[in-house]
Chains A and B, each alone.
Chain A
Amino acid sequence: MSDTEFTRADVCAAAIADAFSEDGEIFASPMGLLPTLGVRLAKLTSNPDLVISDGESVFLGGTPPLGGKDVVEGWIPFRRVFDVVAYGKRHVMMGATQVDRHGNQNISAIGDFARPKRQLLGSRGAPGNTVNNRTSYWVPKHSTRVFVEQVDIVSGVGPSRAAAAGPGAARFNDIHRIVSNLAVFDLGGAGDTVRLVSVHPGVSVAEVVEATGFALDAPADVPTTREPTTEELLLIREMIDPKGLRFKEVPDA
């Protein structure tokens, strides 16, 4: 591969990094592989002030490769994660088994809550995250099964429901970005709905619309997600993910 050739996974990593580029000195909390890669890329490029952890119990002073260790700069056991959630200096990027037009997310269960067709993790921290700190979502396989008209169970709270629940819920509700393997979205659509921000290089708007189970707010001219820079590609390949773990999540088609 030449220095400037890039894969879809690299595009996703750069798009995730961009979601954290203007956060300043806050705790970046990525759940899963591509979000971790993207956050570390942001820390090495656009936002060196990001505070990152090993996903377990310590803040890392440096920016190690995925799965690697580094100098410890702080202590963040689970109880202190809850403290930071309430404190607010945090941006979490979670997964989403379902996400709907209003930016509600589900990781609890599929089907009826009383007797689900498929029990998932449980709501975890999604209800608290979404009314306390900036929250984004990462969807590695964009499809109509994930992007649904209405989620079966609301774990993460979108802006409309937060507004309906009152200022206690709405004050700090901040659904920032949804990044999928096809495109980037925000909640800037009419009535705080999901809006298409950009389609990844090689992906058409029609393709995204087709893979989305709700009416997508899209501008007349949808930009293309920016290509990763040569520096970013070098950082991804040589420093953060030399083993190519990202291709397990987003295969190099």
Chain B
Amino acid sequence: MSRKPRDKRMSIDEVIGSLESGMTIGIGGWGPRRKPMALVRALYNSDLTDLTIVSWGGADVGLLARAGKIRRLVYAFVSLDSVPLEPNFQRARQAAPESGLAIPEIVELDEGMFQTGLKAAAERLPFLPMRAGLGSDVLVNNPWITTVTSPYDEGHGHEELVAVPALRLDAALVHLNRADPHGNASYLGPDPYFDDLFAMAADRTYVSVEQVVDTAGLTVDTPVQRLLLSRMMVTGVVETPNGAHFSTCTPDYERDERFQRAYAAAASGSDEDWQAFHDRFLAGDEASYQAAVQAFTEETTK
């Protein structure tokens, strides 16, 4: 019998197959940075519906909105940075409710509130207090988010603060640079984003990575502080090279700006434009996506 912790390697299809319609799914990364796009693409192509998506959004939100997967969206922003406004998200937000294209439930938070909500979930608390949201329309548009009065007076009275509700997740999807087969995972870029918080806020966490290495390989050339996820937080590990494309995955690769422009043009174009983009890049599996991207790159860099 092996004395090693168990091997959690899975395929993309196995991850998606373990999810159910109606779930609350957190997606790691930040805007157009280190998004688990291979898993998102598979979600986009799945039969799953009625999802609650919790994300500091980029094209992950755009794709899932376009595919009509989102019943409820929890976000603080959705942006591609170099393309400031995400066209698929805009389209869904601006659509008439009866069109079937709109996102039925919208929860727009301040971006710090979003972190605090994940922290509360990670700490198994019902809420955590903070100032963000007070006085703003975040509280007007989300009347279910309420305030709490401080039991302490520090010389300013008993301050009323926002009781940021825990953002509990059924599942979290994150993408890191390296993992071992057991789920210990490291980021090699400049920013951990909040992937550990997503993992701890979730009942199950699936981590896709550029490369699976053995455990010793995780720290052979990398400081131990870069080990963001412990295997106790991780349910499954998927090796998906270029799997964050077209978002950044520094230092493995930067954002594919040319491809992002093509995505944004298709998303903001006619239904036919989007259909053509879908047919060329998104209709198949991850391997066919990567092959189509490679062909696109060769064609556009001639």
Contact = CB atoms under 8 A, between A and B. Distances in A.
A132 B157 CA distance: 17
Nearest to A154: B137
A115 interface: yes
B7 interface: no
A15 to B, nearest CB: 24
B218 interface: no
B89 interface: yes
B256 to A, nearest CB: 18
A121 B85 contact: yes
Contacts of A128: 110-113, 130-133
A167 B131 contact: no
A164 interface: yes
B190 A58 contact: yes
Interface stretch (B72-80, B166-174, B205-213, B267-275): B72-80
Contacts of A130: 135-136
B134 A131 contact: yes
A93 B55 CA distance: 25
Contacts of B138: 123, 127
B70 to A, nearest CB: 14
A148 interface: no
A122 B107 CA distance: 10
A94 to B, nearest CB: 12
Contact of B112 (A85, A118, A154, A173): A85
Contact of A77 (B57, B113, B191): B191
Given A113-B137, A115-B102, A78 B191 contact: yes
A248 interface: no
B108 interface: yes
Given A122-B108, A162-B135, 14 more contacts: A56-B190, A113-B108, A121-B78, A123-B109, A123-B138, A125-B111, A127-B133, A128-B132, A132-B131, A153-B137, A157-B136, A166-B157, A166-B160, A168-B161
A220 interface: no
Given A86-B112, A132-B131, A154-B135, A124 B76 contact: yes
A109 interface: yes
A130 B133 CA distance: 9
Interface in A35-94: 56-58, 77-79, 82, 85-86
B108 A131 contact: no
A127 B193 contact: no
A151 to B, nearest CB: 9
B135 A116 contact: no
A130 B135 CA distance: 9
A119 B102 contact: no
Contacts of B136: 123, 126-127, 130, 154-157, 161
Contacts of B106: 113-114
B93 A109 contact: yes
Nearest to B79: A121
Interface in B76-109: 76-79, 84-85, 89-90, 93-97, 102, 106, 108-109
11 contacts: A86-B112, A116-B93, A121-B85, A125-B76, A125-B110, A125-B132, A128-B110, A128-B112, A131-B134, A168-B134, A173-B135
B85 A79 contact: no
Nearest to A151: B137
A126 B131 CA distance: 12
Contact of B191 (A56, A82, A115, A154): A56
B169 to A, nearest CB: 18
Interface in A163-183: 164-169, 171-173
A131 B135 contact: yes
Given A131-B131, A161-B135, A162-B135, A79 B84 contact: no
B110 A127 contact: yes
A109 B106 CA distance: 12
B132 A132 contact: yes
A58 B102 CA distance: 38
A98 interface: no
B72 to A, nearest CB: 14
A245 B84 CA distance: 18
B203 interface: no
Contacts of B140: 154
Nearest to A57: B190
Interface in B110-126: 110-113, 115
A222 interface: no
A116 B190 CA distance: 35
Contacts of A109: 93
A79 B194 contact: yes
Contact of B75 (A77, A118, A122): A122
Contacts of A125: 76, 110-112, 132
A121 B115 CA distance: 18
Interface string B135-161: 111101100000100100000110111
A198 interface: no
B94 A119 contact: yes
A109 B137 CA distance: 11
Nearest to B91: A119
